[in-house]
Amino acid sequence: MAPLKWWQRAVFYQIYPRSFADANGDGIGDFPGMTAKLDYLRDLGVDALWLSPHYPSPFLDCGYDIADYCDVAPEYGTLWDFSRFLQKAHERGLRVILDLVLNHTSDQHAWFREARSSRASPWRDWYVWRDPAPDGGPPNNWASIFGGPAWTLDQATGQYYYHVFLPEQPDLNWRNPEVKAALWDAVRFWLDLGVDGFRLDAIATIFEHPDLPDHTLPVSPGAVLDANTLPWDDYWQLLRFQLHQPGMHELMKELRALVESYPGDRVLVGEDEDLAFHGSGDDELHLVFNFPLQRTRRITPAHVRANQALRLGALPPGAWPCNTLGNHDAPRVWSRYGDGAHDAALARLHLALLLTLKGTPFLYYGEELGMADLELSDLGQLRDTNAINRYRALTERRGVAPEAALREVLATTRDRCRGPMQWSEAPNAGFTAPEAVPWLPLHPNHRAGVSVAAQADDPGSLLSFYRRLLALRRATPALLAGEFEVLHPDSEDHLAFLRHDRDSGQTCLVVLNFSGAAQRPAFDLGGRAARLRFSSAERPAGRLDLQPLSLAPFEAVILDLL
């Protein structure tokens, strides 16, 4: 077997730049702040950093509305600050990948400003424009993923432009070769600076059906086709002409060839779950997120087994899996999968799962502390434009009482999982100056042990658990490269599997107890003995009896088979 690439061995750690560390006291994270925390990340034991968008942006979609692809948002610093961050990360053995938004720009981008200046503008065809329908309305009934129609009328020029997300995020026209050339130049700009790859945002949306056909669904005349008026399944069917259109895979192959023209095994990670984005296995994206793993209210052995059977069975030859349980668009792992009574034990169990499955794991900042979703209380605290628009739709179009609409929006906004990193128990959690106003509120639990300072020297803390398990994974060939084999396929309470690495000959048995009760599963492994390598419970070192193996509630055990 060929040696693993760095991105196959790595554990990635997602940083939300606005929320990680603020060096200048303005309440917003920045590159000098992130640079000052690189030793912490190295000591944590991660190998690579994924930065959410750091580009100039009006920040209507949390940075995913880019106004300049080749610069740094002034609130985060300068291009020199970025270059220093990248250099210092590399000096510590940390790779860095950037978020790249190919589908759309901000409406404040110079390209779109020029495009909307006149129908005759040379930039007009860089975006998707159409004349109104005969009744003066939008060209078709397509819906935006963020609610409402996918078309906005530009009053000055009398045409509609297309946007699959916010009206302030006009879609680029990728059928125009000038658009592709400009974006490939942006890719080269960052690769020339030395970045190690890109996480590609919303890649399935890049092309739309060229004929712009109407969606047909059984709705009443005049109904607005969006998530606020239709059942969820019907709403997603509305996107069938706007997602996964022909041309995507050819484009990804071209981008892969561009990236591979640079040395150092640069990596492409797709924000999509469709394994077709692996292409033949080595000609499109290197990694595609296993989102179905996290798409459940409760992680169970049956869910994981079914997920792994489907994902690993469908991978094309040569492709590599990629697993995650959290990111900037989902509730935090602590809040999403906790049960109130065993949150800490479940957090340990879920990390053990993520680091022992086959594939590259992605962690989200603050998970190592047990950071929870923010507790927001009023509309003025929201920064997520999609949530604010949702509130308006509920109150103005659906007649929901303001109090009920506010409760719903505060319970679902993506702001909840984007709170400032909790470094200490100091005012503002050490994220920013004590007198500053953070861009999002702090969770009050930073004063109750959920901080780096409170956990760093505590061997029983969640942070210490992360450090130990990350170090173990790095030092265990079977967990890095081993094949995955399920044992006890019908167990409802525990998940058991083998990871076997042919090159080293190492085989690890992983057993995860998802039950709050002790378990005693028995293993018949041809008489092989087992030696403890790791446990989330108190266990003496040495050999363990597998006939049966006694498991404490929510215990994670990793054994070497001898």
Contacts 24+ apart (CB under 8 A), 286-292: 286/5, 286/7, 286/197, 286/320, 287/7, 287/320, 287/322, 287/360, 288/322, 289/322, 289/324, 289/362, 290/321, 290/322, 290/323, 290/324, 290/359, 291/324
Look up residue 508 and give its two tokens: 């690890």
Q: Round to whole Å and give the CA distance between 25 and 433.
A: 5
Q: Are 243 and 204 in contact (CB under 8 A)?
A: yes
Q: Are 107 and 170 in contact (CB under 8 A)?
A: yes
Paired residues of 556 in beta bridges: 512
Distances (CA, A) of 49 to 10, 212, 499: 10, 39, 26
DSSP per residue over 86-130, as a string? HHHHHHTT-EEEEEEE-SB--TTSHHHHHHTT-TT-TTGGGB-EE
Whether 201 is catalytic: yes
Q: Round to whole Å and give the CA distance between 190 and 203.
A: 19
> 47, 107, 196, 201: which is the annotated catalytic residue?
201
Q: Report the relative pairing of strands 360-364 and 322-324 from DSSP bridges.
A: parallel
Whether 131 is catalytic: no
Q: Round to whole Å and give the CA distance between 209 and 229.
A: 24
> 271, 367, 373, 560: which is the annotated catalytic residue?
271
Q: Are 477 and 457 in contact (CB under 8 A)?
A: no
Q: Round to whole Å and give the CA distance between 304 and 409.
A: 30
Three-class DSSP category at 153:
strand
Locate tokens 């492994």: which residue?
Answer: 525
Locate tokens 């390598």: which residue?
Answer: 533
Paired residues of 101 in beta bridges: 201
CA-nearest of 329, 339, 328 to 297 is 339
Residues with a catalytic annotation lie at 201, 271
